[in-house]
Amino acid sequence: MDGDKFILSLDEGTTSARAIVFDRESNVVGMGQYEFPQHYPRPGWVEHNPEEIWNAQFRAIKTALERAKVEPGQIAAIGVTNQRETTIVWDRSGKPLYNAIVWQCRRTAEMVEEIKREHGDVIKEKTGLVPDAYFSASKLKWLLDNVPGLRERAERGEVLFGTVDTFLIYRLTGEHVTDYSNASRTMLFNIKKLDWDDELLEIFDIPAEVLPEVRESSEVYGYTKRELLGAEIPVSGDAGDQQAALFGQAAFEAGMVKATYGTGNFILANTGKTVRYSDNLLTTIAWGLKGKVTYALEGSVFITGAAVQWLRDGIRIIESAPETEELARKLESNEGVYFVPAFVGLGAPYWDQFARGLIIGITRGTGREHLARATLEAIAYLTRDVIEEMERLVGIKELRVDGGATANDFLMEFQADILGKRVIRPVVKETTALGAAYLAGLAVDYWDGMEEIKDLWRAERIFEPKMDRETRERLYRGWKEAVKRALGWAKIAEA
């Protein structure tokens, strides 16, 4: 292929939209990133304005191209990856009909509790998901039931639904599509039959007219409208951000595991062609590629890096996230202080919508450094909770890590210690964007195949576990006790 061509990856996350230009060796050639506002109309509700997402994303594209000194005509393909589950409805002109309901939003928690009682088993069997307000189905039902006139318009075929990938691809190309990995997070998609499921559509009362077409994660969906960038570029990669990160880590074989440390932590284990079920983990589609679907087990931890943000912006005991490392290293141990950051309930493996945060073990000598250390340790414990559960089903040798908080060496060392496993940090930290770039590039033969991609992956640093087993287990027992005390708290407090 042409030597001076590049791949543009759009990584639309929960708090910011990024665009990255990659070259054939998977180097970052240019990047743009813009935050967009978070809207909290009521306690526990989280929304984004789709126009604000689009504007941030489009500006990021422009900035990335400028910084890379690359013309749109030099882009061989575009890949899209996104915060998952977040639900948008728009009309055929591309105009949003309500704010996006974000994956973190809890407005449908009660609705889901009710649906779960009657249909929990069938939902788990067909979608691989644990019924929770986290997924798109209840959010879409809420919109159809609460936005005046929306259901009638939807039944007339005037309304399009999608996760953020679908919205962006619609704006870029005019095509109404999603990929298997994103569809598998809606709670409306049958992950074995690989199709939207009539029974689930009935349970959630969703008219099929609103649904996008589901495609593989690596194929040409359409071409960018000329008026946007002055070129018609193939959009040919689409995957949910966590699945894209698994791909970007070149975790192509069954048993390979990655953890992404961002706002939350998302731990995914490739299970190959096998659909594996676990009571407390999600079964999800990793990607659809060249006629084959790869599955994964996932543990979604809702709040990890967000707890570090809370130290900074909430109780303001630090000025920047990296400061937590310096503070944590001032102590030899947590001295019995634990922090369970269950701000929005707990996800995997506890799935308790009513858990709330707690800090326990405080004495007169407790200071900032204890809180900083307890926050970082909590991230590692929450990750171990998921890995323990995964190990019942798949053998795990080591953990590949990525995401903003992996810059914290104390956290990485403690993670290796508390897992008793190697933790491997790759050279390219932008694994999510890279995964989407790979998917896009493979579809247009920019890269030859998975073998070439595997060879591009490089470890930057390996963290070996150093803690003795007894200490590790003693500390972890303390964590489990702290979690027990956080469970169901919202209900207790209400009563």
In eight-state DSSP terms, residue 210 is: G
Given candidates 147, 360, 407, 456, which one binds ligand ADP under the rule CB under 6 A?
407
- Non-local (6+) Cβ contacts of 477 within 8 A are none
Instruction: With beta carbons less than 8 A apart as the criterion, state whether 197 and 189 touch.
Output: yes
Q: Which of residues 144-183 bind ligand ADP (CB under 6 A)?
A: none
In eight-state DSSP terms, residue 397 is: -
Q: How many residues bind ligand G3P (CB under 6 A)?
A: 13
Q: Which of residues 139-168 bind ligand G3P (CB under 6 A)?
A: none
What x-and-dash track marks residues 290-309 binding ligand G3P by CB under 6 A?
A: ----------x---------
Q: Which two tokens stand for residue 53?
A: 């997402």
Based on the shown chain and the rule CB under 6 A, indicate whether residue 321 belongs to the binding site for ligand ADP: yes
Given candidates 234, 248, 299, 305, which one binds ligand ADP under the rule CB under 6 A?
305
Q: Exposure of 73 by Cβ count < 10 A (0-12 exposed, 13-18 middle, 19+ buried)?
A: exposed
Based on the shown chain and the rule CB under 6 A, indicate whether residue 263 belongs to the binding site for ligand ADP: yes
Q: Exposure of 488 by Cβ count < 10 A (0-12 exposed, 13-18 middle, 19+ buried)?
A: middle
What x-and-dash track marks residues 262-281 binding ligand G3P by CB under 6 A?
A: xxx-----------------
Q: What is the DSSP string of 61-78?
A: HHHHHHHHT--GGGEEEE
Given candidates 58, 103, 180, 295, which one binds ligand G3P under the rule CB under 6 A?
103
Give 234's strand partners: 223
Q: Label residues 145-175 b or e (16+ Cβ within 10 Å = b).
A: eeeeebbebbeeeebbbbbbbbbbbbbbbeb
Based on the shown chain and the rule CB under 6 A, indicate whether residue 299 belongs to the binding site for ligand ADP: no
Give 240's strand partners: 82
- Binding segment toward ligand ADP, per CB under 6 A, in 24-32, 209-217, 321-329, 391-399: 321-329
Residue 415, binding choice from ligand G3P, ligand ADP, none, Cβ under 5 to 8 Å by partner class = none
- Binding segment toward ligand ADP, per CB under 6 A, in 171-179, 226-234, 292-300, 404-412: 404-412
Based on the shown chain and the rule CB under 6 A, indicate whether residue 308 belongs to the binding site for ligand ADP: yes
Q: What is the DSSP string of 306-373?
A: HHHHIIIIIS---SSTTHHHHHHTT-SS-TT-EEE--BTBB-TTT-BTT---EEE---TT--HHHHHH
Residue type, 218: S
Q: Which of 189, 165, 385, 195 is nearest to 283 (CA)?
A: 189
Given candidates 6, 8, 9, 13, which one binds ligand G3P under the rule CB under 6 A?
13
Based on the shown chain and the rule CB under 6 A, indicate whether residue 85 belongs to the binding site for ligand G3P: yes
Q: How far is the CB of 133 from ligand ADP (least distance, A)?
A: 19
Based on the shown chain and the rule CB under 6 A, indicate whether residue 370 belongs to the binding site for ligand G3P: no
- Binding segment toward ligand ADP, per CB under 6 A, in 268-276, 401-409, 446-454, 485-493: 401-409
Q: What is the rounded CA–CA span in Å between residue 221 and residue 241?
A: 18
Based on the shown chain and the rule CB under 6 A, indicate whether residue 127 belongs to the binding site for ligand G3P: no
Based on the shown chain and the rule CB under 6 A, indicate whether residue 104 belongs to the binding site for ligand ADP: no
Residues found near ligand ADP in the complex (CB under 6 A):
13-15, 262-263, 305-306, 308-309, 321-322, 324, 403-405, 407-408
Q: Which residues bind ligand G3P (CB under 6 A)?
A: 13-14, 83-85, 103, 240-242, 262-264, 300
